Amino acid sequence: MCRKNSKRTVVTASRWIAYQTLADWRAGRGFLEDLLADHWKTADLKREDLALSQTIVYGVFRNLRRLDFWIDRLARKGIGSLPDPVVDCLRMALFQTAHLDRVPDHAAVSETLRLCESVGLRGMKPVVNGMLRAFPGKRGELDKEIAASPDRLAVVTSHPDWLVEWAIGKWGNRKGEVWLTQNNVEPSICLRPNAARLLNPEEAERGGDRDRTAAALLVERSGMGELVGEGTAVRIPPSGDPTQLDALREGLANVQDLSAQQAVRLLDPKPGEKIFDLCAAPGGKAVQIADRTLDRAEVYAVDVNQARLARVEENLKRCGFVSVKTVRRDLSEPWEDPPALADAVLLDAPCSGLGTLRRRVDLRYRIRPADIQELAAKAGQLLENASRLARPGGRLVYSTCTLTREENSDVIEGFLNKNIEEWELSERCVYPGWLEEGPGDAPDPIPDCDGAFMALLLRRR
């Protein structure tokens, strides 16, 4: 499929979508993954074209600082002399030239020139053409300049300076550089099977074995993927839009990273219990709770945003679970009249998301150090309010998908200092374990999962 402007300039649809997504992000119209998904909805693309558009968009952001370094040196008057749309076109072209073996250099150049004309930059074509044709011969020299730069690590891994300093301060040079590098590795897709949909009632009652049985059956029925997470989940290669997978459309599985699954496992919800899933959208953990409790618990999925709650309801309906009720509630204020006190409460607190940079590739350029302090204060208030929803003898899991001390251990310590007579810490962990604070060696290979923090708190009777 191709895109044509009024002058009949032809641009392949995957590259046109990639360009429009970059332009929308630059204009502040939303988060990168949402913008890309919106463009996918309006385009009739084959799976391979969807995948190429995602590869280009995400590849540009995973290599943004290096690409901009190259552009700055290739441009006669530096990157600041070029219009923003031209910079986006060059970023796309240089990424394809440097990182996509399946795209010949001449194809990347010709497509970029067509793209320039299509977006009204015809007069810039000679400049763009000259820069792109000069790049292969100058790349070695440019990379030597990067290697000698005091900003080498920030440029090579394409992270803001403050985030590089934070990582090195948290883990030391060796492990910090591994983490920064791993943030640019394209992650696979992890599917968590819905055992209640895949197994017969007798098999579904088998506790821990049920997840392994369901995962094996999911691989058998879908004909794809490999077992991971002690055989309880299925990993498949990146494939464009995962919502088009038959297993997801039929409610047999959910896309859920291994790290995201650990919070519900720590909570250990059981049939017959009253359970609150707080800050529940988009509903992955609510579905997991319903599955683990065989759809026989009294579950409340709570979120402040009605549109996001609609996504929770869509996910529950797709998977066939009926035990979860959605509740719109601003949890920054105490909930004075909850439906009941709960046996188990899960608070998946809003956070800086630094454990998810592999997937949310634009987040590193959006988050600021001041945001971490603000989010930590908000998380502390949410935890205080969430604790009032658990019955005596009940349990509460606090979880985040970030790795900062301020949003994790400090929040838990601050809460316990104020509530030590009523609450105790049973367990805390960082997942995967190599991301625990402090210097050391990283495992080989690095686990293919995001980073997360969780703590299990028990209310005294």
* One domain for residues 411 and 295: yes
* One domain for residues 268 and 251: no
- pLDDT (0 to 100) of residue 208: 61
The CATH number of residue 404's host domain is 3.40.50.150
The CATH number of residue 202's host domain is 3.30.70
pLDDT digits (tens, 9 = 90+) for 422-435: 999 999 999 999 99
* One domain for residues 60 and 102: yes
The amino acid present at 49, given as its one-letter code, is D
* One domain for residues 135 and 262: no
* One domain for residues 121 and 195: no
Which residue bears the tokens 């409340």? 300
In a domain, 168, yes or no: no
In a domain, 238, yes or no: yes
User: Pairing between strand 298-303 and 274-278?
Assistant: parallel
Q: Which of 319, 351, 401, 449 is catalytic?
A: 401
In a domain, 452, yes or no: yes
* One domain for residues 78 and 25: yes
In a domain, 54, yes or no: yes
pLDDT category at 1 given cuts 50, 70, 90 is: very low
Burial class (CB in 10 A: 0-12, 13-18, 19+), 404: buried
Q: Is the peptide bond before 443 cis (omega within 30 degrees of 0)?
A: no
* One domain for residues 208 and 345: no
* One domain for residues 91 and 39: yes
Last residue in a domain, options 256, 274, 301: 256
In a domain, 181, yes or no: no
What is the distance between the alpha carbons of residues 33 and 31, in angstroms, rounded to a whole number?
6
Q: Are 285 and 346 in contact (CB under 8 A)?
A: yes
pLDDT digits (tens, 9 = 90+) for 326-350: 999 999 999 988 988 999 999 999 9
pLDDT digits (tens, 9 = 90+) for 257-295: 999 999 999 999 999 999 999 999 999 999 999 999 999
How many CA atoms does the CB half-sphere of 412 hold within 13 Å?
22
In a domain, 170, yes or no: no
User: Poorest-confidence range of 3-12, 41-50, 156-165?
Assistant: 3-12
- pLDDT (0 to 100) of residue 209: 83
* One domain for residues 287 and 411: yes
- State the average pLDDT over residues 90-109: 88
Q: Is residue 89 annotated as a catalytic residue, yes or no?
A: no
213: Cβ–Cβ under 8 A, 6 or more apart, which residues?
195, 199, 203, 206
Dihedral sign from CA coordinates of 425, 431, 432, 438: negative
When divided into structural domains, the chain yields a total of: 3
* One domain for residues 263 and 243: no
pLDDT category at 183 given cuts 50, 70, 90 is: very high
What is the distance between the alpha carbons of residues 131 and 124, in angstroms, rounded to a whole number?
11
The CATH number of residue 34's host domain is 1.10.940.10
Last residue in a domain, options 256, 278, 309: 256
What is the distance between the alpha carbons of residues 382 and 195, in angstroms, rounded to a whole number?
31
pLDDT digits (tens, 9 = 90+) for 123-179: 999 999 999 999 999 999 999 999 999 999 999 999 999 999 999 999 999 999 999
In a domain, 167, yes or no: no
* One domain for residues 422 and 282: yes
Domain span including residue 140: 2-158
* One domain for residues 110 and 232: no
Partners of residue 423 on adjacent β-strands = 459
In a domain, 60, yes or no: yes
- State the average pLDDT over residues 295-308: 96
